[in-house]
Structure 1
Amino acid sequence: MLGLRGGDYINGGFAWTRPIRMAGFQIRRDFATRPDIVTMPSPRLAATAAAPSTLELYVNDSRILSRPVGAGPIRIDGLPSAHGYINVRLVLADAAGRQVAVDAPFFATPLLLRKGLADFSAEAGFARRGFGVESADYAGSVIGSASLRYGVLDALTLEGHVEAGAGLVQGGGGATVQFGGLGVVSASAAVSHVDDRSGALAAVVFDSRFAGFYISGMSMRASAGYRDLASVTSRPSFYRNWKMAGDEPPRAIHQVTISSPLRLAPLMRGGDAPVASVSYSAQTPAAGPRRQVWSGSLRHTLADRVTAYVTGYASRGERRDAGAFFGISIPLGAAGSATAGVQAQGGDTFGFVEASRAETQADGSYGWRARIEQGARQAAEVQGAYRGRNARVSGAVQYADGATRGQVQVEGAVAWLGGVSATTNRLEGSFALVEVGAPGVPVLYRNQKVGRSDRNGRLLVRNLEAFDVNRLSIDNQDLPLELEAAQTERTVTPMAGGGAIVRFGVGKSPPAVLLTLHRPDGAFVPPGAEVIRAGVAERAIVGYDGQTFLTGVTEDGDLRVVLEDGAECNARLVLGAAASEGGRHVVDAVCR
């Protein structure tokens, strides 16, 4: 489970480090090569059935499993766990109606690794600066960094991080601890030394659920002398104390968010419980005033997927600002929605109406968005996108305050596999070049149609799961009569970002005959009779209306027919008198 990358990349790190872009080499643990491994701890349940019983498993009150079990101990492990709080409940019920229930509240988070798992990355190279502004702007000093996480227990993960280069030596570590179903807390500290300055950093991150409230936050403080690779490799951008200073770490960051569903009966009629949240964040930069933001929101999904929301915020720093938003969203079919609302910000108030349709990854899909604003400002915007077989085309026209501008964008890719080139939409993951062998044949991925083969009998299928089994198939009902497929279903396991060729072996069908057998009196030969050809081991079975299908027939010949009662008759197969339908002959013969 190792990955090696060369070129431009982002170095590894944690919540208390600042990642940078680098050019060089990186080696890292790549769990994507083993999709079967669950890296986060998952809840475990154990119970004992005194008699044969029915086991039911619930996750957040939704039943995910029901099956009969025998008497004896029962252990449930390896359950998939989403991020956040979940409650797992195991119920055993015997034939007499007696029940045994076991509850296991659990808080799942990617901050924890399963016991015994290790995750790491190490990189060395040169820092890239001015990304998105300047091309090929790399610092001249060689730098390196390394990160390591290890699951000591399911409830305890240790981590460490070091950086060096450009005169800097920095290192730190931390631990993440789970407190049952209450949540997790992560604490870390780091020290640095560069030139004649030394400094330290401390951080705490927590994510919890208590009394129905979801609470998450972080607090991080750094001393005036603390530095990292992001600061020592950045370009000096401003003067401070008569010296040029770069991108120094902030002196303090504080964030906290509290959210909870409001389970009030009058508000839950015909819909879900509304969700309210409040948050606060503050940052003290190395230079300049402290910035603070308070915000709150309330979101309520009513009947028929109609959603109402209200949001407000207030900020304080270099300047004070406040704003509020209110809107209602209504679904338009399965893929569209319409929203109307009012927004007040910076002393200006305006209303807006917006409608949109979501685009999918399937070829031939399209999406659009239209928005009009009226009030303190006049604005309008129209966007559209179409995803074809070979490219994605999108465009937009915007009008604001008397100015109009527009843009058109075309995205696509060219893949070269096995000496064959194929144009397609932008490739952002694994893919497969499917060679059907005939044009216009539907290709399916996980039983969902993704396109038809082109005039050369090929289709490039995107967005496959890397290092996992991907099932591709074709619909052979759309094959021409003179063609047949050696296989109609194939599996492929591509590498991350790599491609594979999948061939279905479509070719010319062997010469075949649809034969209808009659008795001398004109009646059909009864079903179940067997047709025997000289030199052919396999016998053909007669179906209804005296019909049977013979393959590999290239010339006229004699047939022996054995009826179910043991009686026999003989027929002469004459191809010359047959009518051809798609390469298959249709023949009538009399069995005497």
Structure 2
Amino acid sequence: MAFVLVPTAHADDGAASPVQTTYLEVMLNGVTTGAVARFAENGGALSTPIEELGELGLRADPALAGPNGMVPLDRLPGVTYRYEPGMQRVYLNVEDSQRLPAQLGTRGRVRPPVTHGYGFVLNYEAYAQPDTGNELGLYTEQRFFHPGGVFSNTGVSTFYNGNNRYLRLDTSWSHADPTGLQSIQIGDAITGALPWSRPVRIGGIQIRRNFGLRPDLITYPLPALGGSAAVPGAVDLYINNVRQYTGQVPSGPFVINNAPALSGAGQATIVVRDALGRDVSTTVPLYIDSRLLAKGLFDYSFEAGFARTSYGIDSFRYDTAPAASGSVRYGLSDAITLEGHGEASRGVGIAGAGVLFKLPLTGVLNLSTSTSASGGQQLGLGYQWRTPAFSIDVQGTRAFGDYKDLAASTGAPMPSALYRGTVSVPLGRSGNVAASYVNLSDPIYGAARIGSLAWTAQLGRRAAFTASTYRDFAAGSSYGVSLSLTFLIDNATTASSTVGREGGNPTMIGAVSHTVPYEGGWGWQVGGQRGGDMWRGFAQTNLRGRYGEAYAAVQDLQGRVTTAFGASGSLVAMDGTVMAGRRIDQSFALVSTGGVPDLPVLVENRRIGTTDGGGHFLVPNLLPYDANRIEIDALNLPINTRLSSTRLSIAPALQSGAVAAFSIQSFRGGQVVLTDAAGAPLTAGTAVLHVESGDRTVVGYDGLAFFESLRDDNTFRADPEQGPCTARLRYAASSDPLPRLGPIACVGSPP
């Protein structure tokens, strides 16, 4: 490649050398960058636009640029250069402090677009206990979803001895904006709260930040792990001796943007390996706490309406006084998170603030204070530190004076004090000892001061042992001790037994259970319990299928035998059909194969069922706003089938569904044997046109040509060496999806 110097129309000083523009290959610390950059040359001195420096990975202060936006290279700190006009090349020697680090890792994955849908879902859960007066309960949820939002209503119907009643629980319409990370809910909602405040149910409007709309977003601070490589090579990242990332690194500084799988304290080791196999390792300490917000993140929840009272008892009972509530959190830095909370209603006013502060390598300290308009205050203090060898979590809140919040006005009195602490120490590689203490002063339940101690140990690969004891120091006779053994019989069957003492009486519990496969099948559990003068035996069987789940149970309580039956599932109206399926609590997809039945459906490579007679299958429990891979097994399709794709990526909205439509088309195809007028196969490679469809192909060996769009009457035009010819074929029905047709003679000239 040749480079030329282009004189400009001006000179810097009007004296000798004119300023010339040149494009040079850039060598950085002796290694080619593969880039060609624009420079201005004046008497051997070079300058370049500030944006070119950024593309080359160099830091540059905008104040160094002149009026024309050019930065002289000799003004850059930590940078020296050598210009070779004959080679049209510039050699830059740059200190690591002046280079932008290369970004490595997987944190910035592309967010999938939301797959919207329209439909209606009816969830139900029924319960019957015929031995107690024909008692029947039915929970239902009606949910209509569309791209603009979700309308939902829940309630419980009870039928008992002729006393029939329907109780409404929650009714709301919600809209989520994944771009702005914001949700709006109108109707019944639960107010946002902080660890030192209490949520309440409210009827009105709620506007809140919803980080759940971005599954790829990590909200807590993560360390920027990096280093420097003298030459290009490989880099590995180990978190607590477990490799979390491996990749290639260029020369110079780098940062690994890979979220470590860690909570609490640990250490990261970065190993850089050059082309000669030499290793350079660096170890740095880490501390990660998901309660903190990353620097600059803002979390909030604001509500206004009327506080709900008698929830679960009355369908429409709200306080007559309007109420408002708000909670905010802000990441001031990676080490400091600020919090604020406020409430207001008739006779209620709360204003408070809190802070979480990450101490240098020794855990997180949290403080809070709030004041009530009724003349009371609340203080909170806590500390949490987690390491591989030791963990401690101590939290306490104390109310002074007449402290009253919205929850107290709805019938939940404020505890005057709550203190809790937990200390945990691992024993070996498969054991743990934990001690905890809770001190609660409640105006309804009174005082409780409970201390507990537990030891857990893994015995081999199939057994686990737990020993625990507790005592309520506020009630001298309240104590307990237990020993438990759990044994895994196989991947789905577990046996457990517990012996102990509760309040001075011996207790014994034994059970064996078999879990229900997720894709469907049977499960069961049997067990017995004895403590003091009470004994109980029970057995239950569960069935999970494509149309829902059901169970039947029998219990013998000291000679009194009772039975219970239950079922849960859903009805979905979508894509022009109504289907029964399992209960749908979150997001789902409706697989549609255009009427093709009995096709296996797989989710993340796991088979979960087959399409029904109409070519549909309901896939529950998908991750909202995230890519869910849904596939069909094409090996079950007939050979004369055309399929656009066997795999789709579906990202449904929260509490909504999306159609996973697979385009499957059958075609009428066959192998046609073409001969000349003498009956000899046409020469291989001869071009053939199917007139009715316009499809073109070439003749293979033995005169065979394949066509996939045959009609009842077919015309073929070929161009062999002996001259153009025409052949005609009447298609006859066959049990073979791809029959062999002919031979047919190709004769004469086409009309």
Q: TM-score, normalised by structure 2?
A: 0.69
| Shift of residue 105, structure 1, vs aligned partner | 2.9
* 8 Å Cα contact 1:436/1:503 also seen in 2: yes
- TM-superposed CA distance for 1:149, in Å, is 0.5
Q: 1:192, CA displacement in angstroms?
A: 0.3
Aligned AA (1:231) = A
Q: Which amino acid aligns with 2:220?
A: M
1:496 lines up with 2:654 in the alignment:
yes
Measured against aligned partners, the alpha-carbon deviations of 1:76-125 in whole angstroms (never above 9, x if no partner) come to 12415454334322111234454322333333223111111111001112
CA distance in 1, matches of 2:734, 2:203: 66
Alpha carbons of 1:480 and 1:547: their partners in 2 closer, same or farther (altered >3 Å)? same
Q: Which structure 2 residues correspond to residues 78-477 of structure 1 after superposition, within 5 A?
A: 78-194=258-374, 198-209=375-386, 212-234=389-411, 247-263=412-428, 272-286=429-443, 289-318=446-475, 320-362=477-519, 364-374=520-530, 376=532, 377-437=534-594, 438-477=596-635
Displacement, 1:501? 2.2
Distance change >3 Å, CA 158–CA 78, structure 1 → 2:
farther
How far the C-alpha of 1:471 sits from its partner, in A, is 2.7
Percent of pairs with identical residues? 29
Q: Structure 1: which amino acid aligns with 2:381?
A: V
- Tell me the amino acid that sits aligned with residue 483 of structure 2: F
Could you tell which deviates more after superposition, 272-281 or 10-19?
272-281
Q: Which has the larger radius of gyration?
A: 2
The alpha carbon displacement at 1:158 in A equals: 0.4
Q: Secondary structure at the match of 2:332?
A: strand
Answer yes or no: is 1:60 the counterpart of 2:240. Answer: yes
Letter in 1 for 2:328: L
Aligned partners of 2:323 and 2:346 also within 8 Å: yes
Question: 1:391 Cα deviation (Å)?
Answer: 2.0
C-alpha displacement at 1:296, in angstroms? Answer: 1.1
How many Å separate the matches in 2 of 1:178 and 1:110?
Answer: 11
The DSSP-based 3-state class of the residue aligned with 2:734 is strand
* SS at structure 2 position matched to 1:329: strand
Distance 2:512 2:723 in 1: 74
**Aligned CA distance change for structure 1 residues 400 and 588 (closer, same or farther; 3 Å):** same
Distance 1:371 1:579 in 2: 62
Unaligned runs of 5+ in 1: 235-246, 264-271
Name which of 248, 256, 266 aligns with 1:76: 256
- Indicate how the Cα distance of structure 1 residues 575 and 287 shifts in structure 2: closer, same or farther if over 3 A, else same: closer
CA distance in 2, matches of 1:303, 1:523: 75
Within 2, Cα distance between the matches of 1:226 and 1:591? 100
Change (3 A) 1:514 1:276: farther
Question: Shift in Å at residue 180 of structure 1?
Answer: 4.3
Within 5 Å, which residues of 2 pair with 1:14-33?
14-33=194-213
Unaligned runs of 5+ in 2: 1-180, 747-751
Aligned length: 561
Which residue number in structure 1 is paired with residue 739 of structure 2?
585
Contact 1:518–1:589 at 8 Å: present in 2 too?
yes
Q: Residues of 2 paired with 1:523 and 1:104: CA distance?
A: 80
Distance, in Å, in 2 between the alignment partners of 1:65 and 1:567 is 66
Asked if 1 retains the 8 angstrom alpha-carbon contact of 2:233 and 2:273, the reply is yes
- 1:585 and 1:561 map into 2 onto residues whose CA distance is 24
User: Residue by residue, what CA displacement relative to the aligned partner does 1:399-424 show, whole Å, maximum 9, x if unpaired?
Assistant: 23233323211112222224432222
TM-score, length of structure 1 as denominator length: 0.86
Q: Secondary structure, in 3 states, of the residue corresponding to 2:635?
A: helix
What is the match of residue 11 of structure 1? 191
Q: Give the aligned CA root-mean-square deviation in angstroms.
A: 3.0
**Bigger RCO (CA 8 Å, 6+ sep):** 2
For residues 458-482 of structure 1, give each alpha carbon's deviation from its aligned partner in whole angstroms, at most 9, with x where no partner exists.
Answer: 1122122212233322222223455
AA aligned to 1:90 is: I
